[in-house]
Amino acid sequence: MAPWRRLSSGRLTWLQFQWIVISFVVLLSLANRSSGYFYSESNEQASDDRFCFCQLQGTIDDCSCNVDTVDYYNNVKIYPRLKSLLVKDFFRYYKVHLNKDCPFWVDDSKCAMRFCHVEHCEEKDIPPGLKGDASSYHKYIKEVQTLTNCNEDLDVELGYLNTSISDKAHKEFQRWADYDEAQDNFCILDDHEPGAEYVDLLLNPERYTGYRGESARRIWSSIYLENCFQAHSVKKKNAYSAMIPYQDMARNEVCLEHRVFYRMISGLHSSINIHLCANYLLSEKSSFGFVAPAGVWGPNMEEFERRFSPHMTDNEGSHWLRNLYFAYLVEMRALAKAAPYLRNEEYFTGLEKDDREVKTAVKDLLTVIEGFPAHFNETAMFSGGTSSLKLKHEFREKFMNISKIMDCVGCDKCRLWGKLQVQGMGTALKILFSGKFDDKIETGLGTRLKQPAPPLRLKRGEIVALFNAFGRLSTSIHELEEFRQRMR
């Protein structure tokens, strides 16, 4: 009997049913050969547009290395070292002034979320060396271990020290020294001011606290509109509309110094946004329905897409992510340039064993950083004579202004991390462009050794901010890879 013949009852035989199923599969297979997938090619393209925007490739603009190189070097070599280093006491306690008034506008808006609050550490938890108790330190410094008897060959007359200089004169001398040193700074240092206090960074991780609205928008609007070089000619209402379109920079319509300034700020902005998406407040309640005192935190894919996807950012999101890599390379170059200086630091907390471990870990990290194949080349900047000096001064003033804007952030925890990361980036710029860490200079007759200059000493707060800021950028690149894995 032919397989398609029906029985008198009107029902299909088992053989007929199998034949129909096989025919359907064959037809479906033929259809799929022409289209390639079970869904149309247009649907595939739409899916790719949505999910591949963070899969960056190729060369990083204004640098000589690829995204893949940075991903591997950071995620395999640098990020694990930083993760273990930054939990040490020297780097986890950061002294900062969080109660300064906003110098640009009157703003009483404060984040009402309980997660905006900064948990201050107790006095007993602060390492003794950070509180000025250097007694334990003096037990193991080289100078003390090699001291001889101070009374030997003592000559009272020759040893007489005239201490008649008044306290007022000493204060004036210190003011002069502070002023000279401040000329190399790219950001405000307020850890010496009354009201500054130590904060334990491990107790206050950078997260999305719920701080948003007009106050938050005004911060980034001020940074982009008032401090980016092109903003003075065009006043725009939207903070993000002041971002330089990628095509303008790709066509070299923006000079190198302006591009570097913008890309560093954009990279910092992207890094902060990644942290907020990776550590998002998913719920204030636990899985059992009870209020969780610490909240429930985790990655938010929708928020990440909202901040970086092409259709939400006018196709600029992937370029903003690329700027993260640029900022990372700039700060890495600063660490490499200052490596000889940083190796000689004591990283003193008053706890001998911990200090020795930190110093060893820092040396190991710096060796890895120095081994990176292609650092950012800062010598290409500010090399145009008198005009370049003016441009460097403007560059410095604008970044200094951004550090002041951090005192206008209405969320205490956001202000803490904003100040730390801006100060870290400012310290990197200080290392790169102050000239104090240069061992060579370029002249019209070639390269020669630089004349000895007054040594540049980094304060503890600058070193803590420099390493933590680089750690934040490193973490962002690591978290970006995790977002890619989730999207896949």
pLDDT at 130 over 60: yes
Residue 238 corresponds to which tokens in the numbers above?
């939207």
Residues 6+ apart with CB under 8 A from 190: 96, 97, 100, 196
Helix count (H) and strand count (E) of the chain? 18, 6
Mean pLDDT over 418-422 rounds to: 97
Catalytic residue among 116, 121, 277, 414: 414
Q: What is the pLDDT of residue 2?
A: 44
411 is catalytic: yes
What would the mean pLDDT of 76-103 be, rounded to a whole number?
96
pLDDT tens digits, 353-378: 999 999 999 999 999 999 998 889 99
274, 206 in Cβ contact below 8 A?
A: no
Query: Is 249 inside any structural domain?
Result: yes
Catalytic annotation, pick one of 116, 277, 408, 411: 411
Confirm whether 474 is domain-assigned.
yes
Give the range of the structural domain holding residue 329, as residue numbers without chain letter. Answer: 53-124+183-437+457-487
Residue 23 lies in a domain: no
Whether residue 145 is contained in a domain is answered as no
pTM > 0.85: yes or no: no
- DSSP state string for 18-47: HHHHHHHHHHHHHHHHHHSSSS-HHHHHHH
Residue 366: phi and psi, rounded to 5, are -65, -35
Do the domain assignments include residue 150?
no
| Structural domain contains residue 155 | no
**Binding residue numbers for FAD:** 207, 209, 220, 266, 269, 307
SS3 236: coil
Asked, for residue 291, whether it belongs to a domain, the answer is yes
Residue 272, pLDDT score? 96
- Number of structural domains (the chain) is 1
54 belongs to the catalytic site? no
